[in-house]
Amino acid sequence: MYYHIVESPISPILLAGDEAGLKYVNIRKGKKKVKVPDGWVENEEFFRDVSGQLEAYFAGELKSFDVELAPEGTEFQKSVWKALCEIPYGETWTYGEIAKRIGNPKAPRAVGLANNRNPISILVPCHRVIGANGKLTGYASGLDVKEFLLKLEE
């Protein structure tokens, strides 16, 4: 597994992946910091493309990413993460809307749990998910980061 840490306006971001694709985009702020295990190899060149795309995103110049993703999770989680990728830039959906889109309308809480376990922040835009009442709900990197990302996309 390769990794590289890039700077961003919100905090440093850990990128990790292998030949199969990107496995982590981890904002280094908040509760869910991924620790770099022994055996991972620092490789800036491997992440040059995604680093450039993130830089363009934070500059307001990029609205969709073109990166091979390889998140690890259950089939249900992967179905939620796939649905997250369908949320258009600048829009928000509720947990209930996502539950309906994946064919499980009674599972908004399970969608929330899968959303919380999303290992590829920003590129799999879990920040675009809001509560049924239209309010911002929990975000592992903090509501200030979620608010920043949503304002960036306005």
Instruction: Write the burial class of residue 110 (CB in 10 Å: 0-12 exposed, 13-18 middle, 19+ buried).
Output: middle
Residue found by looking up tokens 């390889």 in the block: 70
The one-letter amino acid at 10: I
- Angle in degrees, CA 148, 55, 117, rounded to 5: 55
Catalytic-labelled residue, pool 10, 50, 123, 126: 126
CA distances for 65 relative to 33, 41, 88, 136, 142, angstroms? 22, 24, 12, 24, 23
Is residue 85 part of the annotated active site? The answer reads no
Identify the three-state secondary structure at position 94: strand
Residues in the chain, overall count: 154
What positions carry a catalytic annotation?
126
